[in-house]
C-alpha cells in the first residue's frame, strides 16, 4: 500500500517516459542510451524499465546514464556505474554470477533431464510387443459397434 501511495504521488505530477530535452544530439549515442535503458529497472515502479517509466526517478537515471555515455563510458561501464550505486536490483537482465547460474541453467538442465526421461519412456514403448493388449470385453465391443454404426 505504501508503494502504491508513493507511485500515486509520483504520478500526480506527470512526467512521461523519455523527454525530448533528454535526447542526446548524437543519434548513435542516443541509440546506445535507449538500448541500455531498456535493461535497467525503474526502482520505484512495478516491473518497468527506465525507458518506459514516467517516474521522476527513472528520469534521473536516464539522465545519469546519458551523462556517463557522453563522458566516454562503454555500455558495460555505464551499467556497472549504476549497479554500483543502486544495487543489482536495477538490472532487468540478471547476470550469471553466483547462484544465478541456477536461474539461467534451469531451462537447459530441465530439458536434458526431461528429454532423457522421455527417451527412456519412448524406447520402452517401442520395445514392447503388443502382447499387453487385452481384447475388448463384450460390452465394450457392443458399444464400439454402436458408435461405428452411428
What residues line the site for other proteins (CB under 8 A)? 1, 3-4, 8, 11-12, 14-20, 23, 38-39, 41, 46-49, 52, 87-94, 98-100, 103-104, 106-107, 110-111, 114-115, 118, 121-123, 125-126, 128-130, 132-134, 139, 142-143, 146-147, 150
Nearer Cβ to other proteins (48/72): 48
At its nearest, how many Å lie between other proteins and the CB of residue 61?
14
**For residue 116, what are the contacts with CB-CB under 8 A and spacing of at least 6?**
none
At its nearest, how many Å lie between other proteins and the CB of residue 118?
5
Nearer Cβ to other proteins (72/147): 147
In DSSP notation, 2-46 reads: HHHHHHHHHHHS---SS-GGGS-SSHHHHHHHHHHHTTBB-TTSS
**Cβ contact 68:81 at 8 Å:** yes
Amino acid at each position: 500500500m505504501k508503494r502504491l501511495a508513493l507511485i500515486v504521488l509520483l504520478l500526480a505530477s506527470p512526467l512521461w517516459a523519455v523527454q525530448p530535452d533528454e535526447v542526446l544530439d548524437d543519434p548513435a549515442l542516443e541509440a546506445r542510451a535507449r538500448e541500455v535503458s531498456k535493461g535497467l529497472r525503474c526502482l520505484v515502479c512495478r516491473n518497468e524499465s527506465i525507458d518506459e517509466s514516467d517516474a521522476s526517478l527513472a528520469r534521473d537515471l536516464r539522465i545519469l546514464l546519458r551523462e556517463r555515455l557522453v563522458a566516454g563510458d562503454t555500455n558495460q561501464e555505464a551499467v556497472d556505474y549504476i549497479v554500483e550505486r543502486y544495487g543489482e536490483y536495477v538490472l532487468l537482465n540478471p547476470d550469471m554470477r553466483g547462484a544465478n547460474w541456477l536461474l539461467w541453467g534451469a531451462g537447459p538442465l530441465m530439458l536434458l533431464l526431461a528429454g532423457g526421461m522421455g527417451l527412456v519412456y519412448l524406447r520402452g514403448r517401442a520395445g514392447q510387443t503388443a502382447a499387453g493388449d487385452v481384447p475388448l470385453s463384450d460390452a465394450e465391443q457392443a458399444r464400439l459397434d454402436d458408435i461405428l454404426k452411428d
